[in-house]
Chains A and B, each alone.
Chain A
């Protein structure tokens, strides 16, 4: 069974149609790259999955369970939306780290808050917090940031900040990790370190959706590619197939701009 199923998603901003009849599926352990020019709706699609935008039509299913149905208000309750978000992790283009917390605290904060809501927290407080902190340090080590755990975001380079943001998203063990143009805000010499981390996540079979402008990276790392234009899915399929042998004229035109 597909881990994620997106069915007929549609989204308007006022009179402008931003997403139209978007449907796709994603298997456990697969990486999906979404490509397309700016304004094609890629980011909005990602934001819909994370409940940052509410689609006007369509359904979103995770492991066969309906998380969102535009026709069923019961699936849109604020109290439940919060927990449903945890199926997805999100890495933003502009990192959005919390500036007043250290790298480690950025990674552990949300988990600590969730733990505090558990009934048995008070009696095992020290134990649980130590566990969360250990896990956070481990994640930072995986990102090659062991020596930066105590640094504040403004003391880190862009690439380091984005790696902290990835660790922060991973800390809650999401089913699907979403990247919204993770390297677009970085200087070219810093993109490599972030792409390397994402690549290694793909190798470990992390289920991912990556909105990106890095075509070579999409081809090499992703299993599936979706090309979007004007709010529509123009072409989708195997990553190598779509990027090296696009079937649609619009896809070809778009890719030719990234030829070099």
Chain B
């Protein structure tokens, strides 16, 4: 109800904005029609709106096949999705996404999105999947249709390397200023362990906090820590010391791929994944990016 109300309010404002733009510059409709390939007005997408309420399958497979591309929403996140020196998207997720597109008989298109708006991007039809090392938590499961988990992750504590010894064997974060990504799983963990949190917009920003000394420590994804700190980065002076999931006696986190609610791409993905696990492709790609320990092969 609240969602509908706020959406209606926003629409009123949007209409007043675009009505004016349309009346005086007529740029709004022109912009919309200039992108027919990614248009949400395909029949499949149009029916997606009702799918939220009634559990009726959404034929995204047909829609994707029709336009010939699988649009994958990503952020720049080594080692999952990142660009090589030529600007080509690579990484464990990117490589597997290309294979999935091939499996569907289309090509993969990668679009960088603002992570805060991933659900909106999906529902608006700007992208077909969120495939970017996304931790499967309750919020994600509520807002999207999710795949089988394919990779393990944990939250780790990042600290200055020269002070690493002070943090060994800690059982709580009390008395520490801990930088976290706002709204992340890491933030939940830091709060649960009694740290006073410093929420910042991105995981990468938390490292800036520790590096600059404005926070004592940061909580980020293990996979990200592996790629972003230590030798050859601007964060050579940082290291990670604690696995917060173990510290809390919890299981590891799992990564999954998100689709529009009730999308039939989920089944398609799960079948694809089982096939690629079985023939050894998943392990092979994972090994390329140093993820052989984390990837789920069941």
A and B touch in the complex (CB under 8 A): no
Interfacial residues, chain A to chain B (CB-CB below 8 A): none
